Amino acid sequence: MWLPKRRGRRAHSTRESFAADGRSPQRLSMLGATVVVTMVAGLLLSGLAAAGSTCTIYWTGETSTNWSTNSNWSLTDGGVSAGRVPSSSDYVCMSTSASNIAVDLNSSTTSTIAGINWPQTGSLSPSLEVDDTLTIGSKTAVDSSTLNELDIQGTVVLYKGEAATSSSLTLTGTLEGPGKFTVSGPATLGSSSDEVFLGEYGASGTQADLVLQGATTVPSGTDVYFSCRGRTIRGLGR
C-alpha cells in the first residue's frame, strides 16, 4: 500500500507493521477501535521540563477568538492590549477574566512560543484549535505546558525537552516531537477516512512521543502513520 501525499511531502510505501525500519513511517488501520490503555509513539524522554514558568503574555480574547489578533493579548492579567501576538520567548497564559476562550490558530498563522499554560480554572475551560503550525519550546526555552482542550488539525511541534499535558485531544493533523505530549483524558485520533501523522517522516523525520492515559477512539476508516525512526510502539490495544 502506498502512503498518499500530504501537504507536499514525498509519498512513501509502508508496511502493516509496528516494527520500525528507521525511516519509513508505519501504518495502522483501525476499524472503529477504542484504545483504553496507554499508547506511546516514540521513545519516552527521561528529562522533565522546567517548572514554575513566569507568564509573559496573557490571552484576554477582547476582540475575537483569533490567535493572530493583537488586541486579544495583554502583557498583564486582564490588562490593555499588548499590541502584539506571542513570540518565541513568551510563556503564554490565560487571563483570569478572559472571554472568547475557544481560541483558533487559523490556517494562515504559524507561531512559536516558549510554553503555554491554559488549564481549566474555575469556570474557564479554554480550548485551542491549531489549523496551521504551533511550535512549543526552543533551544533557549524549555517550559512545561498545560492545556485543557487541544484540537490539532494542522501541526503541533514539541521541541526537544518539552513536556506538555492536555485534558483532552482531537488529532486529525500532525504531532511532531521529540518533546513528550501526555493526554490525561479522552482522545480521538482522526475522523472517518482521515490520515493522522505521529512524527514527520523522511531523512530529517522526527519521532512523536504521545502518551494516552484515557480512553482513545480511532474512528473507522482512519489511517494512523507512525514515523518511528528506530523507536518502538508500545501498549497499543483494542
* pLDDT tens, position by position, 161-199: 889 999 999 999 999 888 889 999 999 998 876 788 887
The overall pTM is greater than 0.85: no
Residues 172 and 228 in one domain: yes
Please report where in the chains the cell 475551560 appears, as a residue: 125
Same domain, 65 and 103: yes
Residues 39 and 58 in one domain: no
Q: Residue 81: inside a domain, yes or no?
A: yes
Q: What is the pLDDT along the chain (238 residues), one digit of tens a residue?
A: 344 444 433 333 232 333 333 444 444 443 333 333 334 433 332 223 344 589 999 999 999 999 999 999 999 999 999 999 999 999 999 999 999 999 999 999 999 999 999 999 999 999 999 999 999 998 777 789 999 999 999 999 998 888 999 999 999 999 988 888 999 999 999 887 678 888 765 444 566 788 989 999 988 888 877 665 433 333 333 3
Closest CA to 210 of 85, 17, 45: 45
The DSSP call for residue 70 is G
Show the domain range for 100. 52-157
Residues 76 and 129 in one domain: yes
Please give the single-letter amino acid code of residue 116. I
Answer with the one of 117, 140, 157 that is the final residue of a domain: 157
Instruction: Report the number of distinct structural domains present in the chain.
Output: 2
Q: How far apart are CA 184 and CA 177, in angstroms?
A: 18
DSSP state of 74: E
Report the pLDDT value the prediction gives residue 142, as an integer from 0 to 100: 75
- Residues 163, 141 contacting (CB under 8 angstroms): no
Shared domain check, 221 and 182: yes
Are 33 and 87 members of one domain? no
Omega into 86 within 30° of 0, i.e. cis? Answer: no
> How many other CB atoms are there within 10 angstroms of residue 81's CB atom?
15
125 shares its domain with 96: yes
Where is the domain boundary, 157, 185, 201? 157
**Calpha distance 172→187 (Å, rounded):** 11
Residues 115 and 152 in one domain: yes
Q: Would you say residue 229 lies in a domain?
A: yes
Q: What is the pLDDT of residue 161?
A: 82
